[in-house]
A = this chain, B = another copy of it.
Amino acid sequence: MNNALLALAWSLVLSCGTAAAGGERARDLGVPFEGVPGLLNAITDVAGVTVGHVTLIEDLANGRKVRTGVTAILPRGRESLNTPAYGAWFALNGNGEMTGTAYLDEMGQLAGPVMLTNTHNVGVVHQEVIAWRVRAGPADASGYWWSSPVVAETWDGDLNDINGFHVRPEHVDRALDTARSGPVTEGNVGGGTGMICHEFKCGIGTASRRVTVADSTYAVGVLVQANYGVRETLRIAGVPVGQELPVKSEGPPAKGDQGSIVIVVATDAPLLPHQLKRVARRASLGLGRMGSFAGNGSGDLFLAFSTANAGALGGAPLVQSVSLGNDSLDGLFNATVQATEEAIVNAMVAARDMQGTEGHSVQALPHDALVRLLKQYGRYTPPH
């Protein structure tokens, strides 16, 4: 089985000590989570899913600083060019942009990749995804190049020179072309480079769960570009971290919850579009565990797709789809909540302090303080 081989291959890689693209993760610090993660504890535990980051960090001559990037998630790797995936989306807070959502609702499918970037570069990413598709080969069976790409964003203007529009077409192509399976780099990378959560430095995070339904085991993987939240409501594993580590006055001026979070849920469980919408909505509950109240400025937009049923999505006039019964979804819903929670904490743990544009700087969540608080509140769980 591809899955088993993949697992073996990565277990060899991991046993060499390269541990999830090198960074520390929430579990390494003793944060307790529920459920059983996949081998990589990453969205790429869903076989076929590939992720590519392009990270742009540069100090410009004019004193401005580039702290941004683009992340590509390909549901079926390179085959995403030709074969859509059943998909759906949900807006917990629509004060943000995710393109391609009317198409998702209408067609029940995600055609092509999911792209994550900063708010002001949605356009260049949108157009370049189409150009990349056009260059990649002929039109699809309907005589068209698919052309409603999904591009989602969060706002990195505190740290990044966002009005410099620094993401360019070649960065988009590189994110798409370098996307790969395996461990996913987290923190200050890709679309998450300049992002901030709960007034700590944040960015990209990922996690996964394994779920057994009717004797089959499925993977649920989550990747977040996290940029939301105020300090005081932050909870990690139920510990009131935000209250214990209040914002100090010398940080950037607080403007309320002006961020956003994009949550992408992948699964190899066979789900139909209306079931994937159910999954997408559940991401809200993982975000709720962190203490979010989905502030006005926080565009909280979620997307879910299934890599199953490739045969049903090739454009034939009559197709067969496999799906789990609605009564068999609780495990997947729970896994979505769990992996969302962990992916966000992973994003916070992996992020590093950053000096940004206009003299702004943001500190990452101090690992020692987190460990101390976990112990103080009886929640520390030694990593094994």
Contacts and interface: CB of A to CB of B under 8 A. Distances in A.
A337 B229 CA distance: 13
A99 interface: yes
Interface in A295-309: 295-297, 299, 301
A148 B320 CA distance: 29
Category for how many chain A residues contact B: 35 or more
Interface string A317-359: 1111111111111100110110000000000000000000000
A299 B214 contact: no
A286 B284 contact: no
Contacts of A328: 296, 317-318
Interface string A220-244: 0000000000001101011110000
A103 interface: yes
B124 A127 contact: yes
B102 A301 contact: yes
Contact of A377 (B97, B301, B377): B377
B285 A286 contact: no
B97 A148 contact: yes
B282 A285 contact: no
Contact of A312 (B233, B239, B296, B323): B323
A361 interface: no
A281 B92 contact: yes
Contact of A322 (B165, B258, B320): B320
B293 A288 contact: no
Contacts of A216: 318
Work out how many copies of this chain go into the complex.
Answer: 4
A161 to B, nearest CB: 11
A19 interface: no
Contacts of A293: 282, 285, 330, 333-334, 336-337
Contacts of A107: 94-95, 274, 326
A265 B189 CA distance: 39
A41 to B, nearest CB: 19
Nearest to A327: B142
B330 A108 contact: no
A270 interface: yes
Contacts of A291: 289
B92 A97 contact: no
Contacts of A318: 213-214, 216, 270, 322-325, 328
Interface stretch (A20-28, A114-122, A174-182): A114-122
A98 interface: yes
A104 B34 CA distance: 31
Given A325-B315, A378-B376, A148 B96 contact: yes
A103 B108 contact: no
Nearest to A214: B317
3 nearest A-B pairs in the assembled complex, by CB-CB distance: A288-B288, A238-B238, A123-B127
Given A119-B147, A214-B317, A284-B284, 15 more contacts: A99-B122, A103-B299, A106-B274, A106-B278, A213-B318, A238-B238, A274-B274, A281-B284, A286-B288, A293-B336, A295-B334, A296-B330, A296-B333, A319-B323, A376-B378
